[in-house]
Structure 1
Amino acid sequence: MGRKKRQGGRIRRTLAWLVLLALLAALAWGWYGFERFARTPLAVGPQRQLVEVERGSSLRGIVAQLRARGFTGAPELYWRALAERMRVADRLHAGEYALDPGVTPTGLLTRMAEGRVLQRDFTIVDGWTFRQLREALAQVPTLRHDGAALDDAELMRRISAPGEAPEGRFLPETYAYVKGDSDLDILKRAHQAMERTLAELWPGRDKDLPLASPYEALILASIVEKETGRADERARIAGVFVRRLQHHMLLQTDPSVIYGMGQAYAGNIRKRDLVADTPYNTYLRPGLPPTPIALPGRPAIEAALHPAPGDALYFVARGDGSHVFASSLAEHNRNVACYQLKHCHD
């Protein structure tokens, strides 16, 4: 009888040890699986994928989205355990995130905890008009279009620039934004960037310029911007216009006339356009036009403030993007005959 009891006790102890070993093996296997999950790349594929975390999303909702899109097959328990170990379970930020090939669950949770949302770029192109800028912003689906329905005056008021004419006031460069930002956010930043640029460059301008204010420099820079895209010509063309202002000559710049024509411009200027009086017809009205005619970039502003010296008062396009300059009307007329009318004489 005693022997049977001892045998039964040994069997129970053996079973208990076997159960314990099985539990330890299961725990070890689970731990191994969890650690492998934490450092194994998600199933993103060869191309970057995007995932958006809505405001108020829970960790469960985020994992459900990842599972639904096939990025992970791991159980929610693994994700929760990882988030708890990283102490980020309650610190995941809403926003749009880039899932690059090779990103791991640990890497993704780190990005979400730090709020490293996807940065997008919007580029304002040198020489755009404000109308073109507004049209370009309206085509960006990842922006909120808070300014789309506003007229220009109300839009300027909303970006803290009440009463300003908008043309020329926004610095062409590339601005980073995140999905859900407003078009007004970008416009405000571009407006502030232009203000800073003018404040930086105006004090170092050349002496004796016929420009009374940074705004007049902006107007001249916009003309330079529209007259040439060549870096090696900006200062020379600025010099021509500065000397014409100093000599009280009409600027006679076609881009200003075109701007004044507005939607009526159909691709070329006719004689009747040159005699139609608008505030921007520099063939009829002396001095600078009343506002900029485009958004000038920093190089054009620098050219307006530091025009090249010389005696040229005229220039004409060669047809290859460059210009030929002249100091007298007779010389200019010969250049026009040669390069515009193709009547060149040796």
Structure 2
Amino acid sequence: MKGRKKNDSLEKRAIQLQFLLTRFLCQICSIMLFRAISILFFLPFTLPLLGQNHWDNILPVKAENKTYLVFGENVNIRKDSSLKSEVIAKLQPGDPVKIIKQTNILLAQGLTKEYWYEIQTGDKKGFVWGALLADGATEIGGFQLLIRNPGANTKKIEFKLLKGGKLVSSLTLSPGPVANEDWKFTFYKGEVFSPNPGFLIGFRYLVYSEIEYGQQEETILRITENGKIGEFFSWNPGACDPPSCMDTWILFPGDILAKDPSIGRKEYKSQTNTILEITRSYDLDDESINEYSVSMKKWNGKKLQDIK
């Protein structure tokens, strides 16, 4: 009898343990199921956000009371801010217009999206789509250079070169998503190279970054005497993703970069027909990290070639 009671007691304990184990496993399964359902529910809402870039909604904007040059050809100036509105004037590349007021009406064509503007041209007032106007312009060597940013999402910059109001040549570059800031121009001497590559003009602009706000870049354009435009050289003046930072200097033939003990920099001298790019890499938190590197490109009369 005692043996039978002992066996009955062990069986009861085994049943109780099995019940508790089953209950515990059910709770675990319920928690995992709840988490899986939560992930499936919220995933469609989070994926579109993760797929967006921080520059997606940034549009090129023209400043009021400022004069811009027409970039497009046969640009219609309309009586109202609509493609169906009456045409009151037709303009060509290089024609000036003064921005009176930005409307709240947007027009999109492909990846390019801009506002309509009320403008004045001569004695006429009308409306034009902003994407038909140049965002920047300058003159060099008797040519007029027009620059247009078709929008950060296109990741392009467009150029037109005019002479006497006539289109001579055009160029499109793809540097990435470009901000629509005021272009900063630098004129370089082409005669320091042999043979002379022509007129050299650099312009700086901001390229948005996937991680940070963006970084400055400069593209130097080459314009020949007969008006052919092309890319000569591009470089990054510097960037910082703390604590890691980088500064860069370029030397054309005849240039000297002075010694600077405060940042551990020696003197650098340029070479014949060569562009030197000196880069300093350093760490804001660790002064022991301070390295310099040099890359060189040599002009062969047709293009710049890397020298290893």
Shared topology, TM-score over 0.5?
no
Query: Between Structure 1 and Structure 2, which shows a larger proportion of strand residues?
Result: 2
Larger Rg, first or second structure (1 or 2)? 1
| TM-score computed with the length of structure 1 as normaliser | 0.24
Query: Between Structure 1 and Structure 2, which shows a larger proportion of helix residues?
Result: 1
Q: Which has the higher contact order (CA 8 A, sep 6+)?
A: 1
| TM-score computed with the length of structure 2 as normaliser | 0.27
